[in-house]
Chains A and B, each alone.
Chain A
Amino acid sequence: MGVLTPLEEVLRTAAPQVLGAVVRRYGDFDTSEDAVQEALLAAARQWPREGMPDDPRAWLIRVASRRRIELLRNEEARRRREALPADPVPSVRGDDELTLLVLCCHPALTPLSQVALTLRAVGGLSTAEIARALLVPESTVGQRISRAKRKIREAGARFVLPANFEERLPGVRQTLYLIFNEGHTASSGSSLHRVELSTEAIRLTRQLHARLPQDGEVAGLLALMLLTDARRPARTRPDGALVPLAEQDRTLWNRAAIEEGVEIITAALRDTEIGPFQLQAAIAAVHAEPGETDWPQILALYRLLESVAPGPMVTLNRIVALAEVDGPLVGLRALEKAATEPALATHHRVTAVRAHLLERSGDLAAARDEYLLAARQTLSLPEQRYLESRASRLR
Chain B
Amino acid sequence: MTYNDKGKGMTSRSGIYRRSIPLRAMILGGAMAALSLVGIADTARADSAPAAGAVAMRRLTQEQYRQIITDVFGSTVSLGGRFEPDVRDAGLLAVGAGQVSVTAAGLEQYDNMARSIAAQVVDEKHRALLVPCKPASDTAADDACAKQFLSKVGRLLYRRPLTDRELASQVAAANASATKVKNFYSGLGLSLAGLLEAPQFLFRQEAVEPDPDHAGWYRLTAYSKASRLSFFLWNAAPDPELLTAAEKGDLNTSSGLKKQVDRMLASPRVETGVRAFFSDMLAFDGFNTLAKDTTLYPKFTSNVLSDSQEQTLRTIVDHLLVQTGDYRDLFTTHKTFLTPLLASIYRVQATFPEGVLAPWVPFEFPADVPQAGILTEASFVGLHSQPGRSSATVRGKALREVMLCQKVPDPPGNVNFNLVQDTTNPNFKTARQRLKAHATEATCVGCHKLMDPVGLALENFDTIGGYRSMENGAAIDASGELDGLKFNDVVGLGKAVHDNPATSNCIVNRLYEFAAGHKPNKSESEWMKSDLQKNFEASGYKFPDLLRNIASSDVFYRALPPQTGAIDTPSPSKLASEH
- Do A and B originate from a single complex? no
* B contact residues vs A (CB 8 Å cutoff): none
